[in-house]
Amino acid sequence: MAWRSCSVLLRLTGEAALRSPTRGGRWPHSFQQRCGFRKAGRKPESKKVEEEPGPPHTESSEAAVPRRTPTPHLEQQAPPTSPRAFSRLIKPLVFTVGFTGCSFGSAAIWQYESVKFRVQSFFDEIRADWLEKMKPQKKGDVRKEINQWWNSLSEGQRTVTGIIAANAIVFCCWRVPSLQRFMIKYFTSNPASKTLCSPMLLSTFSHFSFFHMAANMYVLWSFSTSAVSMLGREQFLAVYLSAGVFSTFFSYAGKIVTGRFGPSLGASGAIMTVLAAVCTKMPEAKLAIIFLPMFTFTAANALKAIVAMDTAGLVLGWRFFDHAAHLGGAVFGIWYILSGHELIWKNREPFVKLWHDLRTGGGGGRGGDGGGRGGDGGGSV
């Protein structure tokens, strides 16, 4: 769940503070107070602002939040049809394209190096296994128990363990009062913010609510085995990271078009890509809800229901979830399985060969071809 306006952060810090437009990267006074910032003294003129007669229409829900202090530095956002507003998508678009290319290029190089390393260390691993058997077994060895647990995991579960650990670290950082400003600036995505590009990736690892993080990580863990066995470890990570950035770009575009600005955070955009990819590749697979295991449905129907719900939420203006980010992740996952894999991953061989020539000084191309094709056996779609 990529939660709009920081998801549970809405309930804990006040919805109005998050949905209020920002200028210069600054946040409403009420939001700063509730995030643990130093409380500024009430300005005498603030009371005047409150006493000024407002427009005749009914008061908005944002203004109804108790103890909200008007902030003079806030201004109304530019209308969604403003060329200036849409020009803010240029840098995120360039960053999305560039980051996606770098992700898949790095994944191809990583796969090449992994295959090369496995070939070179084959006999060393055999000798290490033989020496391990010769050593006396230690009882109650914690390290051995951890190794046994790690080896019992599937490759997909081992792959997403690092992602889950990163999300847990960022979640703990949200609990440090001195880091609040830094976290809001770099770990929440908002097209109205001065910082546009780095939050597109960092917000994918950011959760303010423990329930939000636990739900997202559970879904990621559940689909990790199928996704990694289908794509391979390297390709999966490239897809996951690229999906996080792409879904945030979709979120930016949705907020500018609708004029509903506000920060978002969460991994659900990237997780929606994983879910959509698995459901598209295996539409007849049976799924169930954790609390209602007796009710099963096909993966195709689940994907259709999720896309329909997020489309309705985007059109009707539901603001609890970032429905645009969810739709962006689903679109990326469906596209990658239907076309993206053939377009990107299966055409990586010239790039891998170039890397091989750089590593070996231009001599011999067979090693690069082997490294380039190494992942197709276990990671093809």
Q: What angle do CA 219, 151, 135 make, to 5 degrees?
A: 165
Burial 150-171 (b: 16+ CB within 10 A, else e): eeeeeebbebbeebbeebeebb
How, if at all, do strands 292-298 and 286-289 pair? Answer: antiparallel
**What single DSSP character describes residue 288?**
E
Residue 26 dihedral angles phi and psi, to the nearest 5°:
-95, 155
User: Looking at the DSSP assignment, which residues form a beta bridge with residue 298?
Assistant: 286
189 is catalytic: no
212, 326, 341, 356: the active-site residue:
326
326 in catalytic set: yes
How far from 119 is each of 107, 131, 374, CA to CA, in Å?
18, 20, 11
Q: Distance between CA 258 and CA 267 in Å, rounded? A: 22
Q: What radius of gyration do the chain's Cα atoms show?
A: 24
Catalytic residue among 20, 268, 323, 341: 268
Rounded CA-CA distance 125/368 in Å is 23
Q: Which residues are catalytic?
A: 268, 326
